[in-house]
C-alpha cells in the first residue's frame, strides 16, 4: 500500500515525525498544496478516499474524490457524507482506526467490489451533484426565498437580513 496525504495543517509536523520511517521508505507521501490540475492528475492514481475529520460541513474534497471514482471511507461525523455516501458507493464508519482498516481491507481483498463501488461513487456525483443538478437546486432555493410566506417567524434574539436584491420575508 502507498498512502498519500494532501495539503497541510496543524498536524503535519506530528505526522511527519511519527511516519518518518514510512516516509523514508516511500510508503507514505505527505504532499504540499499544489495546483488543482496537478492534484486531480495525482488523485486519479488512487483507489480510496479516507475522510477522518472530526468536524466537517460540506466536504468538497469528498465530492471531488468521488467524481474521480475514489471509493470513500468516511467517519460518521454528521455532514454531507450521509447524503452522498451509501453502502453501494462507500463506507460510513465510526471514527476508530480499526474500522478504517476493516473497510480498506474489504476493498483490497475484493477488487470487483472496489470497481463497482468506484463506478457508483462517480455516478452519484455526476448525476446528483454535477453542474446542472446543482444549478437547478440553487434556482429552486432562490425561487423559494422570493416567495412571500406568513409562516416564517423568528425568535426575538434573531434579526435576519434579506439577501441583497430580495425582500425580507
Enumerate long-range contacts of 157-160, CB under 8 Å, 24 or more apart. none
The three cell numbers locating residue 140? 429552486
* 49 Cα distance to chain centroid: 8
Which grid coordinates are listed for 156?
A: 426575538
Instruction: Find out whether 71 and 47 touch, Cβ atoms under 8 Å.
Output: yes
pLDDT, mean of residues 34-38: 78
What is the mean predicted confidence (pLDDT) over 15-37? 88
3 state SS of 105: helix
Inter-residue contact 85 to 91 (CB < 8 Å): yes
d(CA 71, CA 115): 9
Residue 28's pLDDT band, with cuts at 50, 70 and 90, is very high
Residue 165 has pLDDT above 70, yes or no: no
pTM of the model as a whole: 0.73
DSSP tag of 49: E
pLDDT tens column, 65-102: 999 999 999 988 877 788 899 999 999 999 888 999 99
Q: Do residues 85 and 124 make contact, with C-beta atoms less than 8 angstroms apart?
A: no
As a whole number of Å, the end-to-end CA separation of the chain is 55
Rounded Cα distance, 46 and 59, in Å: 18
Amino acid at each position: 500500500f502507498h498512502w498519500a496525504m494532501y495539503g497541510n495543517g496543524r498536524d503535519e509536523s506530528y505526522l511527519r515525525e511519527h511516519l518518518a520511517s514510512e516516509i523514508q521508505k516511500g510508503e507514505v507521501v505527505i504532499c504540499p498544496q499544489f495546483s488543482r490540475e496537478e492534484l486531480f492528475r495525482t488523485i486519479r492514481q488512487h483507489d480510496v478516499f479516507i475522510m477522518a475529520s472530526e468536524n466537517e460541513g460540506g466536504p468538497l474534497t469528498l465530492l471531488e474524490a468521488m467524481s474521480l471514482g475514489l471509493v470513500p471511507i468516511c467517519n460518521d461525523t454528521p455532514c454531507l457524507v450521509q447524503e452522498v455516501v451509501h453502502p453501494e458507493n462507500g463506507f460510513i464508519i465510526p471514527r476508530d482506526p480499526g474500522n478504517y482498516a476493516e473497510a480498506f481491507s474489504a476493498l483490497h481483498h475484493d477488487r470487483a467490489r472496489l470497481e463497482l463501488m468506484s463506478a457508483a461513487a462517480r455516478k452519484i456525483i455526476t448525476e446528483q451533484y454535477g453542474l446542472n443538478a446543482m444549478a437547478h437546486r440553487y434556482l429552486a432555493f432562490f425561487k423559494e426565498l422570493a416567495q412571500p410566506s406568513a409562516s416564517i417567524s423568528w425568535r426575538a434574539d434573531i434579526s435576519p437580513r434579506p439577501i441583497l436584491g430580495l425582500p425580507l420575508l
